[in-house]
């Protein structure tokens, strides 16, 4: 055995898996822009946090980049019209979600002119203050484009508040099949570098490290050439290994710091942004353009023309597939995102959202769904787990609904990367167990909160009823007292008139 490999195994750093990357030829194909579809559907909730609130009316004419839904609350993002047209509906449509449920969306009938609203470009964006950059990013509705869709401005502001020293730019794109980040790094290198410089100003970090997996030599070369004049930005080639693009793994690889459980990257002085986000931030700050389109990968053996496409948000997947020449045979599985962490979609009438990094049309061989066998306790999942957990033990607990035992085994540290399920020789859907358990736990937490709230309501009602009864009694007593006082006054007046008449009588 190779000594290096042996040492790595010994040190416990041999996490992760090496799936075939399937990135080429899609990654080498020229980017094509999808024509404007007749209709776009913009989901109100395509970011982490509170859904945005519509600020347009049905029948209203909107221009590309016009605000159609405003952010609500601290963690939220606004939404902009992705092309010009007329708002034709605000209602539910099938959401990009594994449940197949629907969510609220604004539908725009496009006019095909794709006319931009007046943007507010900045002559010298690098002279802007940190707050101004974060404000422009927030107004542009930029969210983390690596797939997490966390509002980027919140992260930029967080950086300033919690002394970040290193900004990590995630260009690793470790999911197989996907190549939109690689394409972006090769085609729009200078814009990405400008975005990174803006993020450095906004977070107050001293240096930036761009981590790119070594299976993308062209992207590494392009980024190295573009950052040669900027000493504060370093492009690092990281070994291609899944899940290198997970923030915790990339932070260890690039800085040697480990983010503790129950802590965030900012707690170790690091903040991670995706290269796609860097590009969107550059567009937002320098050109004043909100996030209305994105680069995404179409791939899989059933895709007729695998490649990267510039798609306006809200385009239905069926439009994308139709434009690229339909499918090669019936796809066995339709996935949004990568094959490891992406979600299976029930049909193609689902719109592209900000977090859509790709759409995969997998054929029967790639999908390879088969019945799971019993666990043979081989321990492959333990070796593969990048978080050092025991997937087989946790799944056994969850199977018996012993969720708290699974939490004791570190369920909350699971990043749902899917390595365990990928290596499992019995094809046990381990990640599904973990995602189920996490959902169940959070639903229990929600039920508890709700319970507390309703108990408070019941108590308040009780108090209100008591107060009302008391007030009624008091009012009755007051009225009685008033009546008594009136009666007394009347009696006194009567007595006085009587005495007066008596004295009068006496005097008379």
Partner 1 sequence: MLIAIFALAALGAALGMLLGVANRLLRVEGNPIVEELVAIMPGSNCGQCGFPGCTGAAEAIVDGSAAPTCCPPGGKALAAAIAAKLGLTLDLTAIRDEGPKIATVAEELCIGCCRCSKVCPTDAIIGAAKQIHNVMREACTGCSSCIETCPTEALVMKPVPVTLQHWVMPKPALA
Q: Give me the residues that bind partner 1 (CB under 8 A), please.
A: 45, 95, 97-99, 101, 103, 371-374, 398-399, 401, 426, 428-429, 432-433, 435-436, 439-440, 443-444, 446-447, 450-451, 453-455, 457-461
Smallest distance from the beta carbon of 448 to partner 1, in angstroms? 8
Smallest distance from the beta carbon of 433 to partner 1, in angstroms? 6
Residue 234 bridge partners (DSSP): 209
Helix (H, G, I), strand (E, B) or coil at 94: strand
Contacts of range 152-159, beta carbons closer than 8 Å, 24 or more positions apart:
152/273, 152/277, 152/280, 152/281, 154/74, 154/75, 155/203, 155/271, 155/273, 156/130, 156/199, 156/202, 156/203, 158/266, 158/271, 159/202, 159/203, 159/204, 159/205, 159/266, 159/271
End-to-end CA distance of the chain: 139
Measured from the CB atom, the residue of 408 and 482 that comes closer to partner 1 is 408
Smallest distance from the beta carbon of 454 to partner 1, in angstroms? 5
Measured from the CB atom, the residue of 452 and 504 that comes closer to partner 1 is 452
Instruction: State how far the Cα of 283 lies from the Cα of 273, in Å rounded to an integer.
Output: 15
Helix (H, G, I), strand (E, B) or coil at 187: helix
Measured from the CB atom, the residue of 105 and 311 that comes closer to partner 1 is 105
Smallest distance from the beta carbon of 93 to partner 1, in angstroms? 12
Measured from the CB atom, the residue of 230 and 467 that comes closer to partner 1 is 467
DSSP 1-64: --HHHHHHHHTT---SB------TTGGGSPPEEPPPPSEEEEES--SSSSPPEE---TT-EE-B
Instruction: State how far the Cα of 339 lies from the Cα of 360, in Å rounded to an integer.
Output: 8
Smallest distance from the beta carbon of 429 to partner 1, in angstroms? 5
462 token code pair: 């009780």
Number of helices (H) and strands (E), helices first, in the chain? 15, 17
Smallest distance from the beta carbon of 447 to partner 1, in angstroms? 6
Q: Is the dihedral of CA 470, 472, 477, 482 positive or negative?
A: positive
220 token code pair: 């590494």
Measured from the CB atom, the residue of 129 and 443 that comes closer to partner 1 is 443
Smallest distance from the beta carbon of 408 to partner 1, in angstroms? 15
Measured from the CB atom, the residue of 44 and 174 that comes closer to partner 1 is 44
**Could you count the other beta carbons within 10 Å of the beta carbon of residue 237?**
18
Smallest distance from the beta carbon of 462 to partner 1, in angstroms? 9
Measured from the CB atom, the residue of 163 and 444 that comes closer to partner 1 is 444
Measured from the CB atom, the residue of 73 and 372 that comes closer to partner 1 is 372
Smallest distance from the beta carbon of 428 to partner 1, in angstroms? 7
Measured from the CB atom, the residue of 255 and 432 that comes closer to partner 1 is 432
216 token code pair: 């993308």
**Any idea how long the chain is?**
508
């Amino acid at each position: 055995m190779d000594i290096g490999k042996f040492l790595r195994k010994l040190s416990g750093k041999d996490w992760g898996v090496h799936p075939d990357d399937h990135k080429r030829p899609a990654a080498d194909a020229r980017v094509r822009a999808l024509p404007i579809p007749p209709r776009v559907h913009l989901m109100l909730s395509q970011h982490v946090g509170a859904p945005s609130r519509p600020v347009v009316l049905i029948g209203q004419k909107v221009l590309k980049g016009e605000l159609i839904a405003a952010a609500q609350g601290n963690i939220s993002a606004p939404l902009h019209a992705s092309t010009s047209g007329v708002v034709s509906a605000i209602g539910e449509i099938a959401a990009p979600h594994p449940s197949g449920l629907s969510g609220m969306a604004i539908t725009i009938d496009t006019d095909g002119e794709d006319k931009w609203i007046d943007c507010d470009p900045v002559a010298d964006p690098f002279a802007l203050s940190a707050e101004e950059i974060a404000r422009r990013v927030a107004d542009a509705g930029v969210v983390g484009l690596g797939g997490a869709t966390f509002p980027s401005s919140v992260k930029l502001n967080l950086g300033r508040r919690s002394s970040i020293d290193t900004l990590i730019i995630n260009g690793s794109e470790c999911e197989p099949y996907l190549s939109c980040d690689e394409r972006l790094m090769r085609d729009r290198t200078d814009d990405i570098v400008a975005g990174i410089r803006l993020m450095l100003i906004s977070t107050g970090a001293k240096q930036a490290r761009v981590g790119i997996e070594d299976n993308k030599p062209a992207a590494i070369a392009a980024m190295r050439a573009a950052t040669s004049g900027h000493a504060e930005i370093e492009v690092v080639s990281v070994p291609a290994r899944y899940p290198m693009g997970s923030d915790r793994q990339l932070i260890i690889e690039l800085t040697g710091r480990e983010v503790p459980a129950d802590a965030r990257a900012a707690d170790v002085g690091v903040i991670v942004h995706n290269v796609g986000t860097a590009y969107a931030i550059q567009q937002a700050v320098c050109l004043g353009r909100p996030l209305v389109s994105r680069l995404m990968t179409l791939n899989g053996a059933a895709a007729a023309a695998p490649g990267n496409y510039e798609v306006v948000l809200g385009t239905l997947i069926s439009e994308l597939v139709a434009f690229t020449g339909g499918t090669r045979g019936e796809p066995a599985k339709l996935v949004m995102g990568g094959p490891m962490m992406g979600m299976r979609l029930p049909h193609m009438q689902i719109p592209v959202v900000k977090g859509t990094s790709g759409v995969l049309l997998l054929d029967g061989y790639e999908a390879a769904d088969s019945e799971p066998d019993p666990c043979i306790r081989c321990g492959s999942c333990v070796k593969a787990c990048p978080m050092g957990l025991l997937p087989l033990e946790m799944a056994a607990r969850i199977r018996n609904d012993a969720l708290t035992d699974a939490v004791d085994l570190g369920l909350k540290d699971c990043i749902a990367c899917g390595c365990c399920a990928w290596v499992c020789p019995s094809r046990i859907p381990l990640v599904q167990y973990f995602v189920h358990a996490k959902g169940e736990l959070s639903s229990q937490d929600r039920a508890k909160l709700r319970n507390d709230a309703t108990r408070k309501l019941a108590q308040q009602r009780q108090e209100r009823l008591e107060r009302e009864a008391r007030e009624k009694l008091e009012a009755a007593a007051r009225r009685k007292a008033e009546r008594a006082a009136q009666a007394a006054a009347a009696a006194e007046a009567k007595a006085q008139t009587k005495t007066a008449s008596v004295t009068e009588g006496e005097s008379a």
